[in-house]
Amino acid sequence: MELRQLQYALQIAAERNFSRAADKLHIAQPSLSQQLSKLEKELGVLLFQRNTSSVELTHAGEKFVEQAQTIIDAVELLRQEMSDISQLRTGHVVVGSMPITGAHLLPHVLPVFKRKFAEVEITLLEDSSMNLEKLTASGQTDLSLLSLPLEIPTLAYEVLGEERIDLAVPPEHPFASRSAAGIRTSLEELKDEPFIVLKEGQGFRKMTVELCRGAGFEPRIVFESNNMETVQSLVATGMGVTLVPHFIARAPRSEFVPVYLPLAEPVPSRTLVVAYRRGRYLSKAAEAFIETFKTTVKDLSDE
């Protein structure tokens, strides 16, 4: 049994498809199938049930994948510990990020980190919060930028800071002039407003709906998008209102800019965290990246 065969089996289990697994592993599909058959023959059990459209784990396969993940984690832990002990200046950190939040925070974080640790390679993986939790729990990212609450209990996290939630309205909206007058809008006042929100599966969509429900109403959703930039642009054209994380609201845009307003007390906020799999060894490079993230978010929050 070879270490690469364990990695192959884990990738097949993750993808439930030989072709996609082969692509992710950068090997030919026949070679992948051959290695799996060789492994199954050595073990004397069938790990995967091959169907015409998918691949499913057998009972033996489920047990194998569970133990294989433990072995791969142990090997990675040993590798990173030895790297840290030898005080190598190089390293590699895989960072998961929600696309829009990362787009407005990472430009502040990455240059600072690279100035201090120029030899450390950073790989960025962008996905929805739901998928990022799964990727982090399976060890495909070293750490991920997420917001609480986390759905997967095997994840641990460190708090980066609180980010307030702002209201975005069209420039001609009656609420638009309130900020200059020092008047804050309450969530309850939005009960009759049309809402533009992110699509299902994105963490901030869930937060928006829960905040509205907490204020006693179900948001009247008139349009959904996968992209927060699109949501804000549609608000700017007068199609509705939305809630926006403050770090995103503060970002400059060239056109279709809504008016951003702070909400009334108690001001809603979300807790940004760096999450990683519980019990996973964090390399010195990963720990340094987390510390850089914490400092940057604090500086932005203080502005």
Q: Using CA atoms, how far apart are residues 52 and 72, in angstroms rounded to an integer?
A: 29
Mean local confidence (pLDDT), 115-143 = 90
> For residue 78, what pLDDT is reported?
83
Fold equal for 88-160+271-302 and 162-270 = yes
Q: What topology is assigned to 3-84 in CATH?
A: Arc Repressor Mutant, subunit A (1.10.10)
Name the more confident of 189 and 53: 189
Identify the pLDDT of residue 189: 96
Q: Looking at domain 88-160+271-302, does it have CATH number 3.10.20.30?
A: no
Mean pLDDT of 139-156: 92
- Quick one: which of 54, 56, 68, 71 has its CA closest to 8? 68
CATH architecture of 162-270: 3-Layer(aba) Sandwich (3.40)
3-state secondary structure the chain: CCHHHHHHHHHHHHHCCHHHHHHHHCCCHHHHHHHHHHHHHHHCCCCEEECCCCEEECHHHHHHHHHHHHHHHHHHHHHHHHHHHCCCCCEEEEEEECHHHHHHHHHHHHHHHHHHCCCEEEEEEECCHHHHHHHHHCCCCCEEEEECCCCCCCEEEEEEEEEEEEEEECCCCHHHHCCCCCCCECHHHHCCCEEEEECCCCHHHHHHHHHHHHCCCCCEEEEEECCHHHHHHHHHCCCCEEEEEHHHHCCCCCCCCCEEEEECCCCCEEEEEEEEECCCCCCHHHHHHHHHHHHHHHHHHHC
What is the rounded distance in angstroms from the CA atom of residue 235 to the CA atom of residue 172?
11
Taking only the tens place, the pLDDT of each residue in 212-242 is 999 999 999 999 998 888 999 999 999 999 9
| Domain ranges (residues) in the chain | 3-84, 88-160+271-302, 162-270
Q: 92-124 pLDDT, tens per residue? A: 899 999 888 888 889 889 999 988 888 888 999
Indicate the pTM of the whole model: 0.67
